[in-house]
Amino acid sequence: MLLVMIGFHARLAATALALWLCVLNVTLNAWWRFPAGHPYIEFSKFDFFQTLSVIGGLLLLLVQGPGQISVDAYNKKHW
């Protein structure tokens, strides 16, 4: 997460985080495995879709890049 925050190898870090969150999301927030009427379904569904939105943000970073205020952009200008 720190690499994404500062923009150092942000695309690689975003890819790794997105893949890791996909695995964790499917295994830990598997709301479809609970029987109907189980009280944990709504909580797990909320966590699943919230994590899915974070994965979407990481994929957006992967496509668009880290931006002009990042370590990668600074290195491109000064090297």
What confidence tens digit (pLDDT) does each residue in 36-63 have?
A: 999 999 999 999 999 999 999 999 999 9
Residue 72 maps to a domain:
no
Domain membership flag for residue 29: yes
Q: Is residue 76 part of a domain?
A: no
The mean pLDDT value for 21-42 works out to: 94
Whether 57 is in a domain gets the answer: yes
What is the reported pLDDT for 16?
A: 96
Overall number of domains in the chain: 1
68 has a pLDDT exceeding 90: no
Asked if residue 60 is part of any domain, the answer here is yes
In a domain, 24, yes or no: yes
Residue 1, C-beta contacts closer than 8 angstroms, at least 6 positions apart: 13, 17
In the structure, what pLDDT confidence band is assigned to residue 1 with cuts at 50, 70 and 90?
Answer: confident
Does the residue 77 lie in any domain? no
Residue 42 belongs to domain spanning: 2-66
Q: Residue 78 falls within a domain, yes or no?
A: no
